[in-house]
Amino acid sequence: MIESIDEVLTSFLGVDAFFVVLYSHDSSAIEGLYVLERGEVQSYEAMIGKPLPANTPTAWVLRNGQPLRFNDIEVEIAQYPELQTIRLTEAGARSWLGVPLISHAGVPLGVLTVQSYQANHFLPRDELFMLQVARQLTLATQNARLFAQRERQLAELDALQRITELVSSTLDMQQMLPSIDVVLRDFLQADAFQVVIYDPDRDRVEYAVVLEEGVPVQTHTIGRQLPPGTLVGWTLQHAQPLRIANIYTDWHRYEHVDQPSPPPLNGQRKPSWLSVPLLEAPDRPLGVLAVRSYAEGAFGVSDERFLLNVGRQLALNVRNARLYAAEQTSHRTAETLREIARVLNTTFNPAEVLLLILHELKKVIHYDSASVMLPSSNVLRIVARQSDHDNDDGRWRDLQFPLDDRSGAGRVMLKREPIIINDTLGEGAWKPSPMANVVRSWIGVPLISKGTVLGVLNINSLLPNRFSQYDAEIALTFANQAATCLLYTSDAADE
């Protein structure tokens, strides 16, 4: 169609160059740019997806929704001090005429422009003719956009339906996410896909997957805090979508985002980014869903709305998976406590029961080591211990900890309530153990029976931010069983 219009304008107006700019108000960027110079199509793909330069005559026509004509642009441009010319063709234009493409709603959709290398080439009647052509071109543009919008809506509904079926079919992220990646790569033409599930109680990444063109990429963030300065971290912190046309040039517009590494392939790739938060509540994100494209400006406002809808589906799946996991944990806890009660009723050996409690505790709280401490001569000593990482050479039996606020266990005894330390390296009062492995996060729970603190249940992890308040509540249930065991065997011994 553009070539046909060029033929008409060239024969009727004798123009040397002709171009059409289509503008998207949603993305505030150039949606289409068609340039012909003396019948030859010129390529300006690099300008697609970028904002229209504000100080050009074309931008003036778009802003004001009115025609603009220069008999000699080199002379008359001085009448518009805010404007300057941008040469799109090899030769500079002397006569210039631009008219807006106005929709039925009165919204400028773009600009139709003709140029001549000769001064005083266009007359007022040419301006009227161009307005007539612009109306026809606007009608064709609107029809094309309506058709494209309808096609996109159908494709979007199909993609959302496929994702809904995937999300509804399983709670297994590892099984579901690669299939969602296929749908998003097909619909959004994305090259990379990323999902991060975040545990706000532990302040750590619970699950993460990165797929590059469908191939898994190793990630080291699981079980750790999100690295600062990342685009995923920004999305999580602000609980807002993040859309960037070029990561390497636009990153500095966002506070606390670090400069990315130099682009690969000598800068040939100019990746764009789109991420949305997975929200449990408006101010409580569960994670982030992100896509990336190697093409600059690949994602628009409609893509952002679509990904937000996908994010809502995925957030619902995460909530359901956590509810199911909590239900399973409650079931395992009940079964474990019944087993402990059964053993407690058949033996008077406290060491055997305490080891059983620590063993069964592992089924509901993932730890690296756990122990029970009892007071003896104003210190706390370990009487039972379970560990996955060091050989049980008995060295722990010689350990002792102050029965005061100089040790974590001592503070639990004094406060008579659970204490969680998310990272021992930042805890000044933490007394390191001489054991080989360094404890990074810790839960201490008092063993209380009949109002008396009998000891402390310690739960250790080699990773920081490992435990939550929910873990402390489960641990308290096991601590009560341990306290009952100690009291029961003490009473039995007295008899």
Q: Report the C-alpha gap between 242 and 256 in whole angstroms.
A: 13
- How much of the chain is in helix, strand and coil states, percent to nearest 5? 40, 25, 35
Look at residue 85 and tell me whether its pLDDT is greater than 90: no
Look at residue 68 and tell me whether its pLDDT is greater than 80: yes
Look at residue 298 and tell me whether its pLDDT is greater than 80: yes
Q: Which region among 33-47, 314-328, 360-374 has the lowest average model confidence (pLDDT)? A: 33-47
- In this prediction, residue 255 carries a pLDDT of 87
Give the full edge-to-edge strand order of the sheet including 108-116: 40-42, 29-37, 17-24, 108-116, 95-102, 68-70
- In this prediction, residue 195 carries a pLDDT of 92
What residues pair up with 243 in beta bridges, in sequence order?
A: 274
- In this prediction, residue 243 carries a pLDDT of 93
Which two tokens mark 34? Answer: 């068609």
Look at residue 160 and tell me whether its pLDDT is greater than 80: yes
Q: Determine the 3-state secondary structure of 38 from DSSP.
A: coil
Percent of the chain at pLDDT > 90 equals 20
Give the full edge-to-edge strand order of the sheet including 204-212: 215-217, 204-212, 192-199, 284-293, 272-281, 242-244
Query: pLDDT, tens digit, for every residue of 69-84?
Result: 999 988 888 888 888 7
Mean pLDDT of 302-314: 91
Instruction: Specify the higher pLDDT residue, 482 or 275.
Output: 275
- In this prediction, residue 494 carries a pLDDT of 46
Place 230 in a pLDDT band, splitting at 50, 70 and 90.
Answer: very high
Mean pLDDT of 332-355: 73
Which two tokens mark 231? Answer: 């685009």
Place 493 in a pLDDT band, splitting at 50, 70 and 90.
Answer: very low
Please give the full DSSP string across 121-174, using - where no structure is assigned: ---HHHHHHHHHHHHHHHHHHHHHHHHHHHHHHHHHHHHHHHHHHHHHH-S-HH
Q: Report the C-alpha gap between 200 and 33 in whole angstroms.
A: 46
Mean pLDDT of 184-209: 87
Place 88 in a pLDDT band, splitting at 50, 70 and 90.
Answer: very low
Look at residue 438 and tell me whether its pLDDT is greater than 90: no
Which two tokens mark 492? Answer: 């039995």
Mean pLDDT of 354-359: 85
Average pLDDT value over all residues in the chain: 83
Mean pLDDT of 71-98: 78
Q: Which DSSP symbol is given to 370?
A: E
User: H or E segment at 301?
Assistant: helix 301-344
Q: Report the C-alpha gap between 370 and 387 in whole angstroms.
A: 7
Mean pLDDT of 213-224: 83
Place 492 in a pLDDT band, splitting at 50, 70 and 90.
Answer: very low
Mean pLDDT of 272-286: 89
- In this prediction, residue 389 carries a pLDDT of 66
User: H or E segment at 63?
Assistant: helix 57-64
- In this prediction, residue 53 carries a pLDDT of 85
Report the predicted TM-score, pTM, of the whole model to 2 decimal places.
0.64
Query: pLDDT, tens digit, for every residue of 232-268?
Result: 999 999 999 999 988 988 888 888 899 887 655 545 5
Look at residue 51 and tell me whether its pLDDT is greater than 90: no
Q: Count CB atoms within 10 A of the CB of residue 191.
A: 19
